[in-house]
Amino acid sequence: MPMKPLWSSFAEGKGVLNMFFTKMHGLGNDFIVIDGRDLPAETDFSALALKQCNRYTGVGADGILLVLNSNIADARMRIINSDGSEAEMCGNGIRCFAKYVYENGIVPKTSMSVETLSGIVRPELLLGGNGHVSGVRVDMGVPRLKCEEIPVLGMGLCVDRELVLPEGTFNVTSVLVGVPHTIVFVDDLLHTDISLLGNAIEHASIFPRRTNVDFVHVIDRNTVEMRTWERGCGRTLCCGTGASSTLVACVLNDLTSRSITVRIELGELRIDWAEDDHVYMTCPAEATFTGTFRFCSMNVFDFDNTIYRGDSTEDFVFFNFKKQTSLLRFVPGIVWAYLLHAMHFRNKTETKQAVFNMFPSIRNIDDRLAEFWETHFTNIKTWYPGVQKEDDVIVSAGPEFLVTPCCRRLGIKNIIGSRVDPVTGQYSGENCSDEEKVVRFRESFPGAEIQNFFSDSLSDTPLALLAQQAYLVRGDDFLPWPAS
């Protein structure tokens, strides 16, 4: 029975995704499968993979498979590795993908076409007696053998080529079956350090786009055993493109026939290099469980001197002094408060309160606020609209009521600022600065991930430390946040 379609919806309109997923695997190579057809276009799947593929703090997987619409095939598959990078193709992934879209009614055909970054792939589903998918046969396409196609530095074929690295000297064969694979034939898999050698070969300078690495022990001309180090994932229990590449490498080195069984730790794959020059892979795919997780990855910006050129509170105060000169009577109290703050006799909240004490005396403050932004909206820096996303968050030390009209005009929905009543001029809580920004952000977005953080002030370091990337804004330039 088909599962409920994978809908991901915004919670409370704050950009938090409640995301439904299915955990699947192909002989141990496991994936989080997500129906991304209705997800927001700006969803950061790299950040999602980094968070949820973690086997200690997330769902745990070798990667994420995204189900998407296609204009040239029955469906489109994106593969996001556990390190956040994107792969062109995945043999085990395509089997899980095909089983998922068939059993969920997305593509109700046993022979289908799937768009991938490496081209159109055509899986064929094998059904059991209960109508469920018992196995998948995948046309992996024609293998690419030339160095420039794989790519590998050099000319011609890369067959039994000597590769010298600090970790040792290896004879390698490289081919492209969807993604680049480099095969190393060994006599003893048990005593081969897959992780150490796999990582070294993956990053060898002769591979411009890095490479997947397969260590293969040939048992006879019809059977081999394989262990894989995957580019962007590390050690995995199975790899369909690796098994397919292994057969091609075996034939090129005259080690096996053109139809073999590839044994891996949790089972076997049947691989055939047919007369039409296509490689075919046949093996099962399984769904293990379903679930829901909350995901929120957003960009967070300070307001004053970050996206706004200047200090909006100061500008608003001086704007009102010009419009209503009677307010100048508050100047001595404001100056005195800042002197006490400079001598560390007053905190930021107490100091700013001296400024806000003038608000009750402003005539028609709502009209004055609208008039202020009519003349000061142009202070928004021109670079901001170019990087703006729908779920951006503004976290400002300025009064929330002051920055909100400008943010709404920009289309920003998520605004956090100091809680100040414009009628009474009184604070509710602390000034929204320093550690208080972290407290307020966590209150509004519990469990959220900050992708990028921008601020002009090092006092925002507590919030910057929560971000994957933080930038210090200097005018219109972004600098990496200094190490603390």
Q: Indicate which residues carry an active-site annotation.
A: 90, 239
State the Cα–Cα distance between residues 57 and 277, nearest whole angstrom. 44
CB distance 61 to 30 below 8 Å? yes
**Which of 97, 452, 450, 416 lies closest to 295 in space, CA to CA?**
450
CB distance 76 to 68 below 8 Å? yes
- β-bridge pairing 16-26 and 286-295: antiparallel
DSSP calls for 12-38: TTTTEEEEEEEEEEETTEEEEEEE-TT
CB distance 135 to 126 below 8 Å? yes
State the amino acid at position 312 in one-letter form: S
- β-bridge pairing 393-399 and 297-301: parallel
Rounded to 10°, the helix 312-323/348-356 angle is: 20
> Three-state SS for 241?
helix
- Contact partners, residue 137, CB within 8 Å, separation at least 6: 123, 124, 126, 280, 281, 282
State the Cα–Cα distance between residues 110 and 126, nearest whole angstrom. 7
Q: Residue 482: exposed, middle, or buried by beta-carbon count in 10 A (0-12, 13-18, 19+)?
A: exposed
